[in-house]
Amino acid sequence: MITTEQQQRMVDKVAQIDALAARARILPVITIAREEDILPLADALAAGGLTVLEVTLRSALGLRAIQVLREQRPELLVGAGTVLTREMLAATEQAGSQFTVTPGVTQDMLEAGVESSLPLLPGISSPSELMMGYALGYRRFKLFPAEVSGGVAAIKALGGPFPEVRFCPTGGVGPGNINSYMAQSNVMCVGGSWMLDSKWIENRDWARIQECSAQALALLD
């Protein structure tokens, strides 16, 4: 059970996530391998229209990237992805993250999200996991891995028993199916990394990343 104060806090966090999703539409999922890539990569994405960034903690530079971007690119909205534990959540707060995203859920992680000052977008792949979050006031979830977990058909099916819930499908989303996802009334945005080809980053082909980002958004117009 959560307190009345926590319930109101969760309502406020849902509103924050809705505002984030409306601005993002497409949430690029970024893993930083070289510190010198942090700013030019973010600048390329922003020039292409993607100004809400999920920086994953899959690399040792994740927290550093969040800190650098918050300090030097305050116009961007920067969050932390692949947050697995309370300790990681606390570290993202200290780094300046503005939101957090998990690939899955545990009861402890969901409770930590209720207590956190940051809005948390928990990753789920089943109705049971969704219900764990729902009981604590969560109404916005990442469906991950989206295509493996049933894709558009799953999102349509979940809309029946959970009409208040909206999703950010991530995992297998790309140019070929993005419009099918975004056509669903319970999809608020999508996440992906197809505009971040590892070869482009390795070769510092920032123009290609900018172009692909702009093309991705153009698919939704």
Question: Which pLDDT tens digit goes with each residue over 51-78?
Answer: 999 999 999 999 999 999 999 999 999 9
Q: What's the pLDDT at 212?
A: 98
Contact 92, 83 (CB under 8 A): yes
CA distance 103 to 148: 13
199 is catalytic: no
87 is catalytic: no
Is the pLDDT score of 138 beyond 90?
A: yes
Is the pLDDT score of 183 beyond 90?
A: yes
In a domain, 122, yes or no: yes
Unique residue bearing structure tokens 């493996």: 148
In a domain, 60, yes or no: yes
In a domain, 163, yes or no: yes
In a domain, 16, yes or no: yes
Q: What is the mean pLDDT of the chain?
A: 97
Share of the chain above pLDDT 90, in %: 98
Domain range for residue 178? 4-216
In a domain, 221, yes or no: no
Per-residue pLDDT band for 1 (boundaries 50, 70, 90) equals confident
CA distance 206 to 200: 7
Catalytic residue among 13, 54, 111, 156: 54
Catalytic residue among 142, 156, 164, 199: 142
**Token pair for 199:** 């070869």
Q: What's the pLDDT at 221?
A: 85
Share of the chain above pLDDT 70, in %: 100
Q: What's the pLDDT at 213?
A: 98
Number of domains in the chain: 1
Q: Is the pTM of this model over 0.75?
A: yes
Residue-wise burial string across 34-70, b where 16 or more C-beta atoms lie within 10 A, e elsewhere: eeebbeebbebbbbbebbbbbbbbebebbbebbbbbb
In a domain, 104, yes or no: yes
Q: What's the pLDDT at 13?
A: 98
Give me the mean pLDDT over the 154-163 stretch: 98
DSSP classification of residue 213:
H
CA distance 205 to 188: 30
75: domain CATH number? 3.20.20.70
